[in-house]
Amino acid sequence: MDLVITNGTIVTASSISRADIGIKDGKVVQIGGEFDPAARTLDAAGRYLLPGGVDVHTHVDSVSFDTQSADTFETATRAAACGGTTTIIDFCQQEHGGTLAEAVADWDSKSVGKAAIDYGYHIIIVDAPDAVIEELATLPDKGITSFKLFMAYRGMNMIDDVTLLKALDVAKRTGALVMVHAENGDAADYLRDKFVAEGKVEPIYHALSRPPRVEAEATARAIALAEIVGAPIYIVHLTCDEALQELMRAKARGVTALAETCTQYLYLTKEDLARPDFEGAKYVFTPPARSVADQELLWKALADGWLETVSSDHCSWLFKGHKDKGRDDFRKIPNGAPGIEERLMMVYQGVNEGRLSLTQFVDLVATRPSKVFGLFPQKGTIAVGSDADIVLWDPEETFTITQGAMHNAMDYSSYEGRTVKGVPKTVLLRGKVVVEDGRYVGAPGDGSFLKRRKFGA
Ligand code: URP
Ligand code: ZN
Ligand code: ZN
Ligand code: ZN
């Protein structure tokens, strides 16, 4: 035995139990019972032992809005580890006119030897001539079993319905899951340009130009296209009642339509975009933050099982230097906000507030995303045979979130000044302690690429 964790309370998606955990060669090899002598013992008295968090929506080291993100794999994944996340699935983005092999090679050059935690890729396709569609079909065998397409951002990432249909067809044939950014890009652009023509250029108009129906229309259309082809579909960052209604209706008629929400939609509202002194720009992401009523519905949908997970959609655009570009025109503000480190702590407040049970929390931040994206039971649970990705969580400790305490390369936190109760203290990645009592003690390259299984396999 390399390591035994004693005195902790193990929490999985289905049970809460007091037992010791034995770890060897990076795997959990024993739960409970008598243990052989171990090289090291960790006392977890007063701690929950949670499976490491799985964040299936991150944009690490990427370029968008002509801007290079502040975070690299080294900084973003170090921050993730400190927040109790031990696996991410990052978006590997095709260049316009580029091949998918080039995109994967590009992402490998950013991630290999740099990541603090394990990681997989989804592929983003922005152009899909026949050769790219053919290439897409080869990715699932390489462990890249999800494809993402954007229904918004014309001139940048937006694809048309035919491309989405082709991708859905390939996904169905090859065992992949298509993920969509569901917003009607033309409607958003139309409203946006109209505001700017009227001199309405402040960040709040980002939210006002992307009302809930912009999202709901594309959600319904994406689901309908998936249904027409007979493929499963996953809606990223679902934010509002209108889109949720479309998802529920699709599920009710038997479509395999899955969706996530993100931390920011549970805590931020569109009023945050109206903060003075251009501070609203920090909260410019798409779809925009909504209302308190939508937040309530999202929490309920999480508790009732309608949504698969809460991901971070981590983007690292600096307030000073990146978001600034849109001071005179909100259309130039890079879209996105950070949250890879804060995610578990923020979602856990739902447990403190009685919105989620402890097991539901684990299910939503670790187990279900692992299942949907082909990583379970290697990731997302604590069981004999699983990777020993374990978080020693202190449910009693309080912590006030400030950017200064975060481990990424950002200059602001989306949750600055909020006090949380319940924090990750010690984090193991495949049995190696990478965070010890809140201090990062891992190294770049601790994390490895994960080849994921096909959808439903
Ligand atoms: O505003 C956001 N969410 N930016 C990141 C790209 C995306 O749409 O997921
Ligand atoms: Zn192009
Ligand atoms: Zn998106
Ligand atoms: Zn995103």
Residue nearest to atom 6 of ligand 1 (CA): 336
Q: Is residue 452 part of a domain?
A: no
Same domain, 254 and 296: yes
Which of the ligands is closest to the CA of residue 55?
4
Q: Is the CB of 336 under 6 A from ligand 1?
A: yes
Q: Is residue 414 part of a domain?
A: no
Please report the pLDDT score of residue 314 as a whole number. 98
In the three-class reduction of DSSP (H, G, I as helix; E, B as strand; rest coil), residue 129 is classed as coil
Please report the pLDDT score of residue 118 as a whole number. 99
Pairing label, strands 257-262, 233-235: parallel
Counting Cα atoms < 13 Å in the Cβ hemisphere of 403 gives 12
Same domain, 211 and 323: yes
Residue 395 amino acid letter: P
Q: Give the CATH number for residue 119.
A: 3.20.20.140
In the three-class reduction of DSSP (H, G, I as helix; E, B as strand; rest coil), residue 417 is classed as coil
Q: Is residue 328 part of a domain?
A: yes
Same domain, 149 and 233: yes
Q: Is the CB of 59 under 6 A from ligand 1?
A: yes
- Hey, what are 258's tokens? 């899955």
Q: Which of 106, 112, 109, 172 is nearest to 136 (CA)?
A: 172
- How many angstroms from the chain centroid is the CA of residue 304? 20
| 270-291 residue pLDDT tens | 999 999 999 999 999 999 999 9
Q: Is the CB of 121 under 6 A from ligand 1?
A: no
- Asked if 9 and 16 touch (Cβ cutoff 8 Å), the reply is yes
Please report the pLDDT score of residue 313 as a whole number. 98
Q: Region 335-363: what's the mean pLDDT? A: 98
Which of the ligands is closest to the CA of residue 64?
1
Please report the pLDDT score of residue 187 as a whole number. 98
Which of the ligands is closest to the CA of residue 336?
1
Q: Give the CATH number for residue 36.
A: 2.30.40.10
- Asked if 398 and 387 touch (Cβ cutoff 8 Å), the reply is no
Same domain, 143 and 153: yes
**ipTM of the complex model:** 0.92
Q: Is the CB of 313 under 6 A from ligand 1?
A: yes
Please report the pLDDT score of residue 334 as a whole number. 98
- How many angstroms from the chain centroid is the CA of residue 115? 16
Q: Is the CB of 290 under 6 A from ligand 1?
A: no
Rounded distance from Cα 44 to ligand 4 centre (Å): 35
Please report the pLDDT score of residue 282 as a whole number. 98
Neighbours of 165 (CB within 10 A): 16
Is residue 220 within a helix (H) or strand (E), and if so which, with residue range?
helix 212-229
Same domain, 46 and 62: no
Same domain, 389 and 435: yes
Best probe residue, ligand 1, of 206, 237, 312 (max atoms within 8 Å of C-beta):
237
pLDDT tier, 89 (very low <50, low <70, confident <90, very high otherwise): very high
Q: Is the CB of 62 under 6 A from ligand 1?
A: no
Number of H helices, E strands in the chain: 13, 21
Q: Is the CB of 335 under 6 A from ligand 1?
A: yes
Determine what percent of the chain is predicted with pLDDT higher than 90.
99
Q: Which of 180, 179, 178 is nearest to 151 (CA)?
A: 180
Rounded distance from Cα 395 to ligand 1 centre (Å): 31
Question: From residue 218, how far is each of 78, 189, 199, 203, 213 by CA, in Å?
Answer: 35, 14, 28, 23, 8
Please report the pLDDT score of residue 39 as a whole number. 94
Rounded distance from Cα 125 to ligand 2 centre (Å): 9
Q: Which of 120, 186, 122 is nearest to 154 (CA)?
A: 186
Q: Is residue 162 part of a domain?
A: yes
Q: Is the CB of 306 under 6 A from ligand 1?
A: no
**Residue holding tokens 């319905």?**
161
Q: Is residue 153 part of a domain?
A: yes
Same domain, 307 and 158: yes
Cross-strand partners of 314? 58, 337
Please report the pLDDT score of residue 4 as a whole number. 98
Please report the pLDDT score of residue 188 as a whole number. 98
Cross-strand partners of 424? 393
* Distance between CA atoms of residues 18 and 37, nearest Å: 20
Same domain, 297 and 330: yes
Question: From residue 349, how far is each of 176, 418, 420, 452 by CA, in Å?
Answer: 33, 11, 7, 30
> What is the atom index within ligand 1 of the atom nearest the CA of 285?
1
Q: Is residue 404 part of a domain?
A: no
Count up the domains in the chain and report the number: 2
pLDDT tier, 322 (very low <50, low <70, confident <90, very high otherwise): very high
* Distance between CA atoms of residues 142 and 161, nearest Å: 26
Rounded distance from Cα 129 to ligand 2 centre (Å): 10
Residue nearest to atom 8 of ligand 1 (CA): 286
* Distance between CA atoms of residues 399 and 405, nearest Å: 10
Same domain, 214 and 270: yes
Q: Region 117-127: what's the mean pLDDT? A: 98
Beta-carbon contacts of residue 371 (< 8 Å; ≥ 6 apart) = 380
* Distance between CA atoms of residues 389 and 26, nearest Å: 8
Q: Is the CB of 90 under 6 A from ligand 1?
A: no
Q: Is the CB of 317 under 6 A from ligand 1?
A: no
Residues in the chain: 457
Same domain, 231 and 360: yes
Q: Is residue 451 part of a domain?
A: no
* Distance between CA atoms of residues 445 and 114, nearest Å: 5
Rounded distance from Cα 349 to ligand 2 centre (Å): 42
Rg, C-alpha atoms of the chain: 21
Q: Region 192-202: what's the mean pLDDT? A: 98
Please report the pLDDT score of residue 328 as a whole number. 97
Q: Is the CB of 363 under 6 A from ligand 1?
A: no
| 405-453 residue pLDDT tens | 999 999 999 999 999 999 999 999 999 999 999 999 999 999 999 999 9
Same domain, 126 and 157: yes
Q: Which of 214, 217, 231 is nearest to 168 (CA)?
A: 231
pLDDT tier, 142 (very low <50, low <70, confident <90, very high otherwise): very high
Q: Which of 221, 242, 223 is nearest to 287 (CA)?
A: 242
Beta-carbon contacts of residue 193 (< 8 Å; ≥ 6 apart) = none
| 64-76 residue pLDDT tens | 999 999 999 999 9
In the three-class reduction of DSSP (H, G, I as helix; E, B as strand; rest coil), residue 72 is classed as coil
Same domain, 168 and 233: yes
For residue 43, what are the domain limits?
Answer: 3-50+379-395+420-440
Query: What distance separates the 2 farthest-apart alpha carbons in the chain?
Result: 73
Q: Is residue 405 part of a domain?
A: no
Q: Given CA atoms 350, 356, 359, 362 in this order, what sign does their dihedral have?
A: negative
Which of the ligands is closest to the CA of residue 285?
1
Which of the ligands is closest to the CA of residue 159?
2
pLDDT tier, 359 (very low <50, low <70, confident <90, very high otherwise): very high
Rounded distance from Cα 348 to ligand 4 centre (Å): 22
